Amino acid sequence: MSETQAVATTQTALVTGVVASGENLFKAITGKEMTESQQKVSDGLTSMADGIFPAISSRVSFDLGGVVSGATEVINGLALTVNSAKAKVATETDSTGTGAVSAAS
């Protein structure tokens, strides 16, 4: 694998990772999978971003890969936060049997 291929593969993984994280956040918030149409849009945007990432990366004065990696971690954290909040509410609702959630937790 040439250096160019290695860089392109790494950049593709960065873009794919941030998109996958966004899709997971969507599912965490809505509780639903993406529709076929939404998935097609996401796939198209991922392909476009994969294509332009090297050009943009070569023109900025900062580590764009690092920024995208950081954004991926933030989005993963948001999805975890949403899922955890929903799990806590579901657990409290189940334990009371009333559907009421105590604010003193």
Do residues 42 and 34 lie in contact, with contact meaning Cβ atoms separated by under 8 Å? yes
pLDDT at position 5, please?
Answer: 46
Per-residue tokens: 105: 């937790």
Give the start-to-end residue ranges of the domains of the chain: 33-81
pLDDT at position 50, please?
Answer: 86
Per-residue tokens: 94: 């189940």
pLDDT at position 4, please?
Answer: 45
pLDDT at position 77, please?
Answer: 96
Distance CA(19)–CA(26), nearest Å, equals: 11
Share of the chain above pLDDT 90, in %: 50
Q: How far apart are the first and last CA of the chain?
A: 54
